[in-house]
Amino acid sequence: MQPNTLLDAILDEAGISHAGLAAHVNQAGKARGLALRYEHTAVARWLKGQRPRGQVPDLICEVLAGRLQRHVTLDDIGLGIPGEPASAHGSSLSGFVERATALWRSDEQQRRHVLDAPAVTGTPAVMPVWEWENPPEDNDVSRGGRHPVSQADIDMMRSARTHYEQMYRKAGGIATRTRIVGFLNTEAAPLLRGRYTDATGRQLHRATGGLVAIAGICAYDSDAHGLAQRYFHQALRLAKASGDRGLGAYVIALLVNQALHMREHRQAVAFAEAALRAAGRHITPALASDLYAMQAKAYAHIGDGTSALECIRRAESAADRIRRGHEPDETGYVQPGFVNVQVAEALLRLGDCAGAKEHAQEAVHTPAHDRGRVHRLAVLSQIQLRQGNAEQAVATAVEMAERARGMESQRLRDRLRAVREHLVRSGCAGTAEAAELIDGALRVPL
């Protein structure tokens, strides 16, 4: 049995205890001529995944609907009939919000079935992208909740996204994730369930989508790939509700990056193409440059050098068109030198070490935040080793290790381990010092 996280979340929202729900269900059953004697222990079993018998699921919906002053379905409480399609309400934006907020709550509570879930592949991985790209659209996202949502609320959500993104860059995703998930539960969830017009709702869903995307990045950085994927899929659905195609394309770029890490190279190519195609004129030069650069890496891994070089050309052309101050907050990660290091990785895979080194050096010599600089130095060190410049590689690795100290990031730890392994295999002078520094950076508790 899987825990019923939807029922758990909606009970929390309604403010009903286990004993309270049992008492209300008994009372509702009495009105139907049923003699029910449920206690809190029965509710605990339902939350663990046991399905109550007979009319009880409908009674739970009745009780919660009265408490929340809105329609509640079996799908909303995690008791839909297996194999039957979800009701229209359950598949609506409102139903999505309930499922999304239930995931946030389970994440904050460190539920293992959520944290340890593997990433999906095949059709389940592709469908959220297809649904984002194709009709139907959300014609009206207004909601009639209890509490009104104001512009100040939306501004607060936008500021929070910026705050947590900066925290991620400085401290890493492992340290940041618990904080942003807590914020989603305490601030974002009540707002999504609030009262707002269509226009305000679109702004709210956009702001929430940006936050959820950062939560996904932090989960990815923590090696929780199934959870990261679910956050990215949520962010994509929120982007569709907002009507902002550019935000959706940004979220797909995050899925492309995850696909590359998981060696799903053909899927990475297909997702990038979907983002570029569907976003069209709404895609910015910064995002286009990243998508083309990631496509180049994917093609290089597949062994299609012609396509990889064409994508490199397009990435560099798009990067030349970037105008600072004309990009959304989400694409701020595409700093000067960002595309260069992406191109360097693609060229290295294609066997062009000279070209890769030129791009990597340009990236390293361009200012970047600490996390980006560690990544750039790691790529340059790898290239230097490949070319036989062991002493330079050691010096680069030393700087990389010093920069990485204090960051709680599984992805950076992967980078550090890879560089250490290459250095040790080279057996060059200075390796012991560099390895010791890397070991010190790796000793940061995760």
Q: What is the mean pLDDT of the chain?
A: 90
* Domain endpoint, select from 356, 380, 409: 356
Residues 212-255 pLDDT 10s:
999 999 999 999 999 999 999 999 999 999 999 999 999 999 99
* Average pLDDT rounded to a whole number, residues 104-115: 90
Asked, for residue 363, whether it belongs to a domain, the answer is no
pLDDT of residue 216: 98
Is pLDDT at 356 greater than 90 in this prediction?
Answer: yes
Q: Kindly state the tokens that stand for 170.
A: 């400085």
Enclosing H/E stretch for 196: strand 195-196
pLDDT of residue 9: 83
> The pTM is what?
0.84
Asked, for residue 100, whether it belongs to a domain, the answer is no
Asked, for residue 97, whether it belongs to a domain, the answer is no
* Average pLDDT rounded to a whole number, residues 158-182: 95
Q: Which among 291, 206, 303, 286 is positioned nearest to 256, based on CA atoms?
A: 291
Q: Which of the four pLDDT bands, split at 50, 70 and 90, describes residue 337? A: very high
Is pLDDT at 361 greater than 80 in this prediction?
Answer: yes
Report d(CA 126, CA 387) in Å as an integer. 39
pLDDT of residue 446: 44
Which is more confidently placed, 305 or 92? Answer: 305
* Average pLDDT rounded to a whole number, residues 360-372: 91
Residue 38's contacts (CB-CB under 8 Å, 6 or more residues apart) are: 22, 25, 26, 56
Show the domain range for 346.
107-356
Asked, for residue 395, whether it belongs to a domain, the answer is yes
Is pLDDT at 319 greater than 70 in this prediction?
Answer: yes
Sign of CA dihedral 293, 250, 363, 422: negative
Is pLDDT at 2 greater than 60 in this prediction?
Answer: yes
pLDDT of residue 444: 55
User: Do 258 and 237 reside in the same domain of the chain?
Assistant: yes
pLDDT of residue 87: 38
Contact indicator for 190, 198 with CB cutoff of 8 Å: no
User: Do 373 and 292 reside in the same domain of the chain?
Assistant: no
User: Do 193 and 341 reside in the same domain of the chain?
Assistant: yes
